[in-house]
């Protein structure tokens, strides 16, 4: 009989063989059930509140999913005519992810944000996401950090004083005022390994599976479904539906953690 701790070293060396051995036995190398996600948490870091040159930080969040960590800051910058309203930057940090992965995540997050955040009169919205640690589910962690940072963000009032626009931080309103706090969608990535769906995969499970990411809200509304390229098998409609089912349950868990 397999022990849940057996294979944690071999899974790094021969991940497909080890994952298959556990899946065939109805287990996962880290002891979770197929449909069980890792614990998610949100934290605060006072250093995230500091503003950089030309950008005013108005929201932040530090997200953890298992051992995977990412942080996000939301900033305001002065926009020029014709400039994109939302700018998302993803830094891979020490995660080992390729820059092409970061660019694809930037596009996904920017698309989700642009759909729901109203254009501001004189500001552009700058979201900076930094990957701190990757044990799988890094896209989920980045998207969760973004959702939490947007829910945390407060838009300061401005006053025109001649040629100067003054920011009044003491009078601020929620950036998502009048909208659901989970409006950008909450993430779940599933690994399709053969005909088995593994919820919230670890890094080893990701490497040997087809990945499907679903962004949805607590009310079950689907924001985005993304099947990642490069997977070993094609996913069937039934497997996609299973991923959506798990994502809707996960969205309710994550929504309860968002800032009020």
Is there a contact between 190 and 79 (Cβ–Cβ < 8 Å)? no
pLDDT, residue 235, reads 73
> In the 8-state DSSP scheme, what is residue 235?
P
Query: What pLDDT is recorded for position 16?
Result: 87
Distance separating alpha carbons of residues 95 and 71, to the nearest angstrom: 13
Query: What domains are there in the chain, each with its CATH number?
Result: 1-31 (no CATH), 32-255 (3.30.230.70)
- Residue 9 is predicted with a pLDDT of 47
Q: How many residues in the chain?
A: 260
30-38 contact pairs (CB < 8 A, 24+): 30/4, 30/202, 31/4, 31/5, 34/196, 34/197, 34/198, 34/199, 35/197, 35/199, 35/246, 36/199, 36/200, 37/65, 37/188, 37/199, 37/200, 37/246, 37/250, 37/253, 38/65, 38/66, 38/137, 38/200
Contacts of 99 by beta carbon, 8 Å cutoff, 6+ apart: 92
Average pLDDT per consecutive 10 residues, the chain (260 residues; last block may be shorter): 47 78 92 97 68 75 96 86 84 90 95 85 88 95 96 83 68 86 94 95 92 95 87 76 97 94
With contact defined as beta carbons under 8 Å apart, do 86 and 167 qualify? no
Sequence-distant (≥ 6) Cβ neighbours of residue 30 within 8 angstroms: 4, 8, 202
Instruction: Report the pLDDT value the prediction gives residue 225, as an integer from 0 to 100.
Output: 93
End-to-end CA distance of the chain: give it in Å, rounded. Answer: 46
Please tell me the predicted confidence (pLDDT) of residue 211: 94
Neighbouring residues of 253: CB distance < 8 A, sequence distance ≥ 6: 37, 40
């Amino acid at each position: 009989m397999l022990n849940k701790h057996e294979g944690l070293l071999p899974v790094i060396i021969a991940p497909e063989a080890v994952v298959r051995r556990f899946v065939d036995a109805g287990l996962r190398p880290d002891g979770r059930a197929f449909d069980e996600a890792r614990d998610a948490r949100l934290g605060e870091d006072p250093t995230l509140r500091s503003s950089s040159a030309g950008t005013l930080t108005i929201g932040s969040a530090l997200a953890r999913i298992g051992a995977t960590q990412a942080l996000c800051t939301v900033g305001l910058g002065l926009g020029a005519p014709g400039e994109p309203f939302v700018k998302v930057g993803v830094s891979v940090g020490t995660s080992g992810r390729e820059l092409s992965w970061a660019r694809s995540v930037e596009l996904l997050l920017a698309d989700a944000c642009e759909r729901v955040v109203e254009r501001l009169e004189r500001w552009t919205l700058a979201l900076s996401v930094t990957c701190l640690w990757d044990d799988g589910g890094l896209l989920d962690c980045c998207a969760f950090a973004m959702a939490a940072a947007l829910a945390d963000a407060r838009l300061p009032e401005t006053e025109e004083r001649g040629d100067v626009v003054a920011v009044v931080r003491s009078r601020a309103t929620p950036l998502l005022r009048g909208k659901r706090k989970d409006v950008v969608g909450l993430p779940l990535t599933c690994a399709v390994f053969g005909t088995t769906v593994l919820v919230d995969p670890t890094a080893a499970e990701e490497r040997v599976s087809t990945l499907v990411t679903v962004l949805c809200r607590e009310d079950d509304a689907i924001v985005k479904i993304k099947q990642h390229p490069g997977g070993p098998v094609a996913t069937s409609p039934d497997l996609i539906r299973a991923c959506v089912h798990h994502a809707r349950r996960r969205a309710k868990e994550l929504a309860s953690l968002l800032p009020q």
